[in-house]
Structure 1
């Protein structure tokens, strides 16, 4: 049985909803880690840090510069030095981040990231940006009933429904999404966003949902950040801020049971979670790579087993050669619907 190893992984933990990422690391070895789980709403953010087994001393640090190279079909697109972050009072480099514009990433093309840092082996990871599967139709209706239990124990952490709402008679919006699954292996994630006006901006906010079809689904914790200038543009002395636009557990699934067929997905949202009158609701169908899907599965299994002393050890799926981590690029098709009063 493979020994479960805990990792010192200090990266942008808000991208994922867990902070520990166990991988199988050779005893006494320190390795570079790479984390780049990209969705269309964000830039391609490559986080680089170190991983080693607990109890292995001394702890090492990254060295300047951290060179991050992005290739498309083995042709160099861009090369950057990652910005290094460390401890406020200790001269220690804990992790580095390099950002790339995701608008230059083309669906169907293969991409590679290479990371070089003095004192460590170079690491590489490859992925293909999937061609998105198109949403065929999108409809909605109101219904009353009991909200699936998973809704309240997911992102809300056992948060109960409002006291004035009868659990058996909750008013919900049900969205019906249909799409044609292409032949071959396909992997999906679904997100629901609401389009809201805040000050002079229109912003998308992620919404938590549930499904009667999947009472205990595989899911991934999803959030994204927008960047804007407050107090004027950058040239006018404005300050750049990043704001998280919602957080939700989004259902992830494969096409094992409906390969090459039309698929219908129904999702529900309780109306008491917000004002949906005349609201623009955006349904997003993400297409994932197989490596991305397997990484999400391993993360989900770990989260389910980490408090169970009898659970089998879980190693996270990695597609990084000479190191550990994940590099993935999701693509997306979406449709917008107006929910009337």
Structure 2
């Protein structure tokens, strides 16, 4: 409410400031020209009286009359020009009133229809992440750059604009922005990975010493960070150390969920260095046997968590025969014979057209005493 009151007062003050000098002067009384004409008419009458009384001669009275007549004509012309100008002034006043009152009313109505002062502002980072148009991005980038030019110690500003530089292909600017963000706000996983990727893109896909240092700093902040681990494996591969790359990527694969977005890229990397693909997640027979060394409560929690995850994955993607066999074995070890038989039945339905797969399912079912 206070906002609208302030806007209304400011709008009214602006309108009055413009309209006050244009106010009508119609009520000010007789104009100067009309007063002059009255005086000249009195002079003509006086000249006529003087001539009649013989105070002046005919020639003098005629000359005086001519002079007064010229003055009357001059004043009459000025009056006509003033009347014409007055009409133009009235038109200008009407146009000013329409512009100063009509335009705010129209704009206010349009705002009430389409806008709202109650809506929250959208932060710059959110607008940039929302994939605006190219023109919008250019405007936003210029504004951030102008802001950073006057506020060079704003680390958050550098962190906001760095990913935008990456999307625009301005890799050198992105690397510089990440470096400034790290210098001002400190090192963390996101900033170091951002710097490493910018340097990687700038070098055409080569993990330079500077990029490697950035990924190592990211891994130091979070030893399990998959991005840093992947690029450190890539650095080892590019350095001619495929065994080290295979070791790094294999360890990463062991920690990678099956639905992770980087899983296909990781599988391709493992294939390049001749490492076996990561095993499907889920408990193996060795996992279950190792759990026997734990307390009963911990062992049950560990195994059931692993089995539940495997069961959920197979419900979504059931073409993993080895996964079904592990699930059958795991339920059997847990003493859940009914669930083991249910897993066997679902596996048979999944591989009904694959005789070899059905043979392996039936063989394990007989081994576990689940029936065929």
Q: Same fold per TM (> 0.5)?
A: no
**Higher Rg of the two aligned structures:** 2
TM-score, normalised via structure 2 length: 0.17
Between Structure 1 and Structure 2, the one with more helix by share is 2
Between Structure 1 and Structure 2, the one with more strand by share is 1
**Which has the bigger relative contact order, CA under 8 A and spacing at least 6?**
1
